[in-house]
Amino acid sequence: MKIKKEVTIYDIAKELNYSPSTISRALKGHSSISKKTTKEIREYARRMGYRPNSLAASLRNNRSNTIGIMIARINRPFVSSLISGIEESARKEGFNVIISQSNDLYANEVNNAKALYDTRISGLIVSLSMETKKLTHFKQFFDLDIPVVFVDRVPKEIETYKVIIDNYSAGYKATQHLIEQGCKRIAHFAGAQHVNVYNERKKGYIDALIDNNIPVDEGLIINFDTLSFEEGEKATNLLMEMQNPPDGIFSSNDTAAVSAILTAKKRNIRIPDDLAVIGFNDDPLASIVDPGLSTITHPAAEMGKISAETILEHLKLGNNKKKKSHTYILSTELLIRESSNRKKKVRNQKSGVTKGLIEEINLPASKPPALQ
């Protein structure tokens, strides 16, 4: 089978008897080329299957109309919603996205950063891996004024654009809810403590206990590597075998929280009567598990939109008008379902299914204004 040769502007110029520069300007819609000539050239290019060489253009301009995305795991519902939000905003402005995942490994993140840098991306959106402690691999982007937006898992050391929620207040609110439901011994599934989101959620948990005169028992705080389903199962079994087991669990994600519910049920522990459970993120599985999982909502799609809009706004402005850093804090909500709702059960009379009760955490939603 004969492979068809890629059509170039030089081929079009030869066939139509125009200079290559005329062909190039016509395809770009330049005003110096008449409408009649532009139409003729574009129609011929379309018939011949011409494709613009975006790689060559990026080499000339040292940038491409592409936004790089570095995330930990693409199969997490929060991450997929985040990416959808980024793509929606990017495509409206004619930008594409390139997605890379680290699988929560620092070495992968470093390699991904280099690969994206070499493709001459116009901007970068990052949610750090669990292992990441050093940040030198981002210096190459800052040196060339390539805007970098950190989202959700963000570093404290770098002053740049960040899109986050108030994880401390959310952690406090989740724990306070369990206390209000009558829980006296509340366990916490904590993520890696060098990661901002898990560290702040743990601080909120601890302060809620202290403010309610409940002793902080380090034996009830389980530190996880990845907050996986398997880790949740192991931790729940460990807690339930204590001489004085907990009557509540606040998990830093929904995956481990759902694991806690299923593991407890296998041990004939009643949810929420014997053990009340609340998670974080409002993943789809939170509403599927029985009983439904109470959780903290996480506005992933909106965080993605704001991250992309921030990059696009940065690219539009001149150097003298650009901000070098800004933090956007979005609001979250406490979504109460059956897994923690001991005192106030609102039931759908037809289906007998507990409805979710939503309580807003009073934090102002923030969208990126024009960066000045």
The 10s digit of each residue's pLDDT in 160-170 is 999 999 999 99
Task: Write down the pLDDT at residue 46.
Answer: 85
* DSSP structure string for 89-100: HHHHTT-EEEEE
pLDDT of 87 strictly over 90: yes
DSSP 3-state percent helix, strand, coil across the chain (nearest 5): 40, 15, 40
Task: Write down the pLDDT at residue 266.
Answer: 97
Out of 18-32, 83-97, 175-189, 286-300, pick the least confident: 18-32
* Inter-residue contact 147 to 310 (CB < 8 Å): yes
Joined together, the tokens standing for residue 206 give 């601890």
Task: Write down the pLDDT at residue 211.
Answer: 98
DSSP 5: P
Greater model confidence, 294 or 346: 294
DSSP 354: B
* DSSP structure string for 298-320: --HHHHHHHHHHHHHHHHHS-GG
Helices 9-16 + 35-47 axis angle, to 10: 120
Angle at 224 between CA 218 and CA 230, to 5 degrees: 120
C-alpha dihedral (120, 125, 130, 136), degrees to nearest 10: 50
CA–CA dist 147, 286 (Å, integer): 35
Greater model confidence, 325 or 198: 198
DSSP 163: E
Task: Write down the pLDDT at residue 47.
Answer: 87
pLDDT of 109 strictly over 90: yes
* Inter-residue contact 149 to 160 (CB < 8 Å): yes
Instruction: Report residue 118's pLDDT band, with 50, 70 and 90 as the boundaries.
Output: confident
Among the listed residues 109, 140, 207, 212, the one whose alpha carbon sits nearest the alpha carbon of residue 167 = 207
Task: Write down the pLDDT at residue 55.
Answer: 54
| Number of C-beta neighbours around residue 211 at 10 A | 12
**pLDDT average, residue stretch 43-49:** 86
| CB-based contacts of 139, cutoff 8 Å, min separation 6 | none
Task: Write down the pLDDT at residue 115.
Answer: 93
Greater model confidence, 353 or 143: 143
Instruction: Report residue 56's pLDDT band, with 50, 70 and 90 as the boundaries.
Output: low
Joined together, the tokens standing for residue 104 give 């929560």
DSSP 66: E
Among the listed residues 291, 365, 284, the one whose alpha carbon sits nearest the alpha carbon of residue 328 = 365
Domains of the chain (ranges; CATH) run 9-52 (1.10.260.40), 61-165+301-328 (3.40.50.2300), 167-299+334-360 (3.40.50.2300)
pLDDT tens string 193-228: 999 999 999 999 999 999 999 999 999 999 998 899
Task: Write down the pLDDT at residue 48.
Answer: 83
Helices (H), the chain: 9-16, 20-27, 35-47, 54-61, 77-92, 106-118, 139-143, 167-180, 196-211, 229-240, 254-266, 285-288, 300-316
Average predicted confidence (pLDDT) for the chain = 87
Out of 12-21, 78-87, 319-328, pick the least confident: 319-328
CA–CA dist 204, 200 (Å, integer): 6
pTM of the predicted model as reported, rounded to 2 decimal places: 0.76
The pLDDT > 90 percentage for the chain reads 67
pLDDT of 120 strictly over 80: yes
Among the listed residues 64, 65, 198, the one whose alpha carbon sits nearest the alpha carbon of residue 127 = 198
Instruction: Report residue 313's pLDDT band, with 50, 70 and 90 as the boundaries.
Output: very high
pLDDT tens string 347-363: 332 333 334 554 544 43
